[in-house]
Amino acid sequence: MQHLLLLHGALGSKEQLQPLMVALQDKYIVHIINFSGHGGEAFPGELFSMPLFANDVLHYLQQNNIEQVDIFGYSMGGYVAMHLAKYHPQKVNKVITLATKFHWDETVAAKEIKMLDAAVIEQKLPAFAAQLKQRHAPQDWKLLLEKTTALLLSLGKNNALKLEDYTSLSAPSLLLLGDRDKMISTEETFAVYKQLPNAQLGILPATPHPIEQVNINTLAFFIQQFIG
Instruction: Please report, for the chain, the start and end positions of each structural domain, with discontinuous segments joined by +.
Output: 3-103+161-227
* H-type alpha helices, the chain: 18-24, 50-63, 76-87, 106-113, 118-124, 126-136, 141-157, 186-195, 216-227
- Terminal Cα-to-Cα distance of the chain (whole angstroms): 11
Q: Is residue 102 classed as helix, strand or coil in its secondary structure?
A: coil
Q: Which of 1, 11, 4, 52 is nearest to 136 (CA)?
A: 11
Q: What is the mean pLDDT of residues 187-211?
A: 97
CA distance to 41, 63, 72, 74, per residue, from 115 (Å): 23, 35, 25, 18
Model pLDDT for residues 122-149, shown as the tens digit of each residue: 999 999 999 999 999 999 999 999 999 9
How far apart CA 32 and CA 8 sit, in angstroms, is: 8
Average pLDDT over residues 66-86: 98
**pTM, 2 dp:** 0.96
What is the number of alpha carbons within 13 Å of residue 55 lying toward its C-beta?
8
Q: What is the per-residue pLDDT for 117?
A: 94
As a CATH number, domain 3-103+161-227 is: 3.40.50.1820
Q: Give, in order, the Cα–Cα distances in Å from 40 to each of 60, 118, 138.
A: 16, 18, 6
Supply the pLDDT for residue 116: 94
Q: What is the average per-residue pLDDT within 90-97?
A: 98
Residue-wise pLDDT for 158-179, tens only, equals: 999 999 999 999 999 999 999 9
- Torsion, Cα 220 185 189 100, to 10 degrees, reads -50
